[in-house]
Structure formats: structure tokens, C-alpha cells
Amino acid sequence: QKEVEQDPGPLSVPEGAIVSLNCTYSNSAFQYFMWYRQYSRKGPELLMYTYSSGNKEDGRFTAQVDKSSKYISLFIRDSQPSDSATYLCAMIKGSGGSNYKLTFGKGTLLTVNP
Amino acid sequence: EAGVAQSPRYKIIEKRQSVAFWCNPISGHATLYWYQQILGQGPKLLIQFQNNGVVDDSQLPKDRFSAERLKGVDSTLKIQPAKLEDSAVYLCASSLVGSRPANEQFFGPGTRLTVL
């Protein structure tokens, strides 16, 4: 079993839809949770970063963490064609010392159709 | 502020040949990372440098991969000899200091390697 599981999709939605992206993890040592967005032929860029369980909102994006279920989500409201990209969840274990290593999910390919 | 620079952007080689990738991190970033991203997968950390010292190279296939970061700035990743399964995008990232999980890693555009 991989430490981080993410449905690769692809996911195709119409413009304006609410998008839900999810990851599960198996190791309770993961304490820090991120969502990265990766456009085609580009490197990943950080979208959201959370530490505690609960919700964090940034504009049209909401990150949700449920540590009891080992489940994280990213919601995109009013999706736009410019949101079309691969979304990667990533996690860091809490006791990394000087080596806080990112463990990524496979990524979900999202297409928002105009 | 200039981002992480990588070159070349694309490289096609035959198996058993050697190849090298170059990375220039964001100015002032002490920590540098090399990741391998196989098609349809998330990035996998190969090696992490803090200044010019190696912090983590546990997932680097040391029989064929090597990396260096001279003078704590630029870095080079080399593969010798290449195998078909090395076909991937090689991403370089940098951050201010790797000792805090909140320190954001900034990624370069990657080098797409095809091994024939």
C-alpha cells in the first residue's frame, strides 16, 4: 500500500462547477499537508498549505484535512478553464528534523471546459 | 525575483549513454532538491542538499546517478549509464532552509528526458 493515494482521474467538468479533489494516507506521522498545481510542461507550484484538521480557505480554493480519517480534500468553487491542470497532494511527516521530505500523491488531471 | 532555472529543457539519448542536468536555484535559497517525475506519477525526491552538503540521498540510485552542488549554489545531476526506465521529468526545487516544514519549495520547469 502506498503511503499517499490519489485518484489520477482524469476529471472533466464544465466551467462554473464545484470541483472536489481528494487524497488518503496511511501513515499518521504525516502532519503537514499541501496542494500543488502543475500546468503542462511546468513545475508544481504551491496552492495551499495546512497543518491542523479543519478547513482553510483562499479565494475560490478550500483545503480540508480530517486527520482522524486520514483524508484530505481540495475544493475549487466556480471553476475556470485556467484551473485546468494536474493537482498534486503532498505531505510531510512531523518529525523530519532538518529533512522535511515531501511525499506526493500521483496527481489528478483536471480539465475545466468553457 | 527570478525563479529556479534548469537546462536543458529536453534531452533524448540512447540507453547506456550518459546525461547531465543543471539547476540554478533562487538566490539565497540554501536548500536544493532534485526530484524524478515519471509520467502519471507524483515527483519522487532523489536528493536534498543543504548548502553544499547532502541531507538525504536515500532514494538516489547511486550505481548510476550522481549529484553535486559545488559552492552551495548551482547543482548538477548526472546519469551514467542511462536505462529506459530513467525516462522522466527531472525537477529541481529550492527553499530558504529545509529545517522548517512551512518553507515553500519552489520548482523549476524541469528537464524532460527520453531514453531510447
**Over the stretch B51-80, which tens digit does the pLDDT of each residue have?**
889 989 999 999 999 999 988 899 999 999
Tell me if A106 and B99 make a contact (CB, 8 A cut-off): no
Best residue in B105, B111, B112, B113 for a mutation probing chain A (most A CBs within 10 Å): B105
Contact A96, A46 (CB under 8 A): no
pLDDT below 50 — which residues of chain B?
Answer: none
Cα dihedral across residues B48, B52, B23, B78: positive or negative: negative
Q: Which of the four pLDDT bands, split at 50, 70 and 90, describes residue A24? A: very high
Q: Which residues of B touch A97 (CB under 8 A)?
A: 99
How far does the CA of residue A95 sit from the closest CA of chain B (Å)? 10
Between CA A1 and CA B95 the distance in angstroms is 30
Q: Which residues of B touch A44 (CB under 8 A)?
A: 43, 91, 107
- pLDDT computed for residue B17 by the predictor: 97
Position of cell 462547477? A17
A106 touches chain B (CB under 8 A): yes
Burial A90-100 (b: 16+ CB within 10 A, else e): bbbbeebeebb
How far does the CA of residue A89 sit from the closest CA of chain B (Å)? 9
- pLDDT computed for residue A100 by the predictor: 73
SS3 B94: strand
